[in-house]
Amino acid sequence: MPLVVALSVTPARGGQTREIVVNLPQQPEPGEIVELPDGTRIIVDAVRPSSRDGIDAEVSATRYS
């Protein structure tokens, strides 16, 4: 069953952070490079449990490519 994750993604060269909600096959780990369904690659900075309904985890990440 996919994991519903709220991602806060910051561009590698700075800029505005955006939040998106995606389904991932498993919970990512800090330092891991993850490819999102739209092809964007991110480096996971931190993972926290979520208190929001319908969201399994809160992830902060930096856009990799």
Residue 55 has pLDDT above 90, yes or no: yes
In this structure, the number of other CB atoms found within 10 A of the CB of residue 37 comes to 9
Measured CA to CA, the distance from residue 27 to residue 44 in angstroms comes to: 10
Quick one: which of 37, 58, 36 has its CA closest to 48?
A: 58
Residue 14 has pLDDT above 90, yes or no: no
Beta bridge partners of 62: 10, 43
User: What is the pLDDT averaged over residues 49-56?
Assistant: 93
Please provide the size of the chain in residues: 65
Q: CA dist 15 to 19, 26, 37, 63, Å?
A: 13, 28, 22, 11
What pLDDT sits at residue 64?
A: 84
25-42 pLDDT, tens digit per residue, is 999 999 999 999 889 899
**Full-model pTM:** 0.84
Residue 65 has pLDDT above 70, yes or no: no
